[in-house]
């Protein structure tokens, strides 16, 4: 069975919010920070560090 990555991440995110119950502002900060880091000058450095 092939599951798309976006669907797997969505399921993990929904389960994490339901089980851990983080504050909504923290979720927004993490999503916005990740989006901004992906488009910054640090993106290649992060990419090589992850791989």
pLDDT at 33: 92
Residue at 24 is within a domain: yes
In the chain, how many domains are there? 1
1 belongs to a structural domain: no
- Per-residue pLDDT, 12: 95
Alpha-carbon span 47 to 39, nearest angstrom? 12
CA 1 – CA 8 distance, rounded (Å): 12
pLDDT in tens, 1-51: 899 999 999 999 999 999 999 999 999 999 999 999 888 998 998 888 888
By residue range, what is the domain housing residue 24?
Answer: 13-50
5 in any annotated domain: no
pLDDT at 30: 93
Q: Is residue 2 part of a domain?
A: no
């Amino acid at each position: 069975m092939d599951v798309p990555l976006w669907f797997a991440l969505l399921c993990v995110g929904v389960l994490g919010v339901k089980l851990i119950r983080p504050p909504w502002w923290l979720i927004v900060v993490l999503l916005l920070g990740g989006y901004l880091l992906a488009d910054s000058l640090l993106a290649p450095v992060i990419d090589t560090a992850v791989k």
